[in-house]
Amino acid sequence: MMTDDKSKLLRSLKIDRSADKTERSGRSWLPISAVIVACLVGFAAFAAFEFRKQDAPKETAQQPAAQPQASQPPQQTTTSSKPAGTLAASGYVVARRKATVAAEITGKVVEVFIDEGMTVTEGQVVARLDSVLAEKDFELARSRAESADAAISAITADLEDATRIMTRVQTLSQKNFATEADLTKAQARVGVLSAQLRQAKSQFLTASIDAKRSASMLDKHQIKAPFAGVVVDRSAQPGEMISPMSVGGYTRTGICTIVDMDSIEIEVDVNEAFIGRVVPGGAVNAMLDAYPDWTIPASVIAIVPTANREKATVKVRIRFEKKDPRILPDMAVKVNFLADAKAKGATETTAAN
């Protein structure tokens, strides 16, 4: 009986290992679950923070955008109360009369009488070519013309004498004092001299034409200004060869460049979308890049009736109302077509009609 009591006592003191394992496993999962939950909560908080941070600039940008919409009506009212703006364009000063003076023949330059900046008149000699051979040719042609003229005088005198003799022989023949042979001989001589006179006159005409041609060729050795203007470039120097066409080597094709300062005007390119705001006769303010504080009054001459397909522009010609020595060709210029240019041009067109 004591043995049974001892056995029960020993069984009561025995530790239940299965319950301990279950308790231990449950306790080990608790920390892991807590860590996982903490990570998820932290990730969710970080995502919410980043989302709010990205949405903040959008809300800030939307708020100013909404404010101008609210203040837009006052701005529209201010713009409508202002007068129409002017149309601006840029271009260059150009000369309608500009020429490179060249020789009509090939020759060596002997003298140049002009320099840059000089003012020349129409027909003024600007250079001279070597004309020794041309002078000899002119003298020879003139001598031939004089010889032909002298031959005409001699033949004319012989013809007059032969005509008198023929008339006298005819009178004597009618009275039977001269034979028929004498009359025929006198008539033949008059006919021969008449033919020689026509030949001499033709030779004289040919010699005269040749002399005029030689004189014209001699005159071409003096290069003259085609119109009055200012020399802007001097190309040739004494001793150089010059020719009306380029033949290679060191042969030049021009002596100088002359510009007629009275023909200067402005050429600008206006966008074809705004060409309707430009009319002939419209008022324009021009400002040279060289003198930005100087406003030059001008007006529209014409709108060139063609457009540039590549640039989508239309060329407009503008005149200066007053010429000034400071205005030079190829200067850059900016122009403003005044707001009342269209009305002014329409008024002038109506008055002209």
258 burial (CB, 10 Å; 0-12 / 13-18 / 19+) is buried
How far is 113 from 111, CA to CA, in rounded Å?
6
Q: Is 204 a domain residue?
A: yes
DSSP letter string, 12-81: HH---HHHHHHHHHHHHHHHHHHHHHHHHHHHHHHHHHHHHHHHHHHHHHHHHHHHHHHHHHHHHHHHHH
Q: Is 119 a domain residue?
A: no
Q: What phi and psi, each to the nearest 5 degrees, are found at residue 310?
A: -75, -40
Residues 216 and 273 in one domain: no
The whole domain housing 273 covers 262-352
Q: Is 149 a domain residue?
A: yes
Residues 272 and 333 in one domain: yes
117 burial (CB, 10 Å; 0-12 / 13-18 / 19+) is exposed
Kindly indicate the confidence band of residue 12, based on its pLDDT and cuts at 50, 70 and 90: low
Per-residue pLDDT tens over the stretch 252-275? 778 999 999 999 999 999 999 999
Region of residue 64 (phi > 0: left; psi between -120 and 50: alpha; otherwise: beta): alpha
Q: Is 122 a domain residue?
A: no
Q: Is 236 a domain residue?
A: no
Domain termination residue (choose one: 220, 241, 270)? 220
CA distances for 288 relative to 13, 98, 118, 271, 281, angstroms = 118, 21, 24, 20, 21
- Which one-letter amino acid corresponds to residue 89? A
Residues 206 and 276 in one domain: no
Give the per-residue pLDDT at 205.
94
Give the per-residue pLDDT at 133.
92
Domain termination residue (choose one: 186, 204, 220)? 220
How far is 33 from 25, CA to CA, in rounded Å?
13
Per-residue pLDDT tens over the stretch 187-197? 899 999 999 99
Domain termination residue (choose one: 71, 89, 112)? 71
Kindly indicate the confidence band of residue 176, based on its pLDDT and cuts at 50, 70 and 90: confident
Per-residue pLDDT tens over the stretch 293-345? 999 999 999 999 999 999 999 999 999 998 898 999 999 999 999 875 444 44
Kindly indicate the confidence band of residue 80, based on its pLDDT and cuts at 50, 70 and 90: very low
- Which one-letter amino acid corresponds to residue 50? E
Residues 276 and 207 in one domain: no
Q: Where are the beta strands (DSSP E) in 251-311?
A: 256-259, 264-271, 283-288, 295-308
Give the per-residue pLDDT at 148.
92
Share of the chain above pLDDT 90, in %: 53
DSSP letter string, 157-222: HHHHHHHHHHHHHHHHHHTTSS-HHHHHHHHHHHHHHHHHHHHHHHHHHHHHHHHHHHHHHHHTTE
Q: Is 275 a domain residue?
A: yes
Count of domains in the chain? 3
Q: Is 2 a domain residue?
A: no
Give the per-residue pLDDT at 39.
66
Q: What phi and psi, each to the nearest 5 degrees, are found at residue 109?
A: -70, 125
Report yes or no: 231 and 117 within 8 Å, Cβ to Cβ: yes
For the question of whether the overall pTM of this predicted structure is more than 0.75, the answer is no
Which tokens go with 277?
A: 């705001």
CA distances for 316 relative to 195, 265, 291, 341, 352, angstroms = 68, 11, 22, 14, 21
Q: Is 21 a domain residue?
A: no
The CATH number that applies at residue 318 is: 2.40.30.170
Residues 203 and 135 in one domain: yes
Report yes or no: 244 and 286 within 8 Å, Cβ to Cβ: no
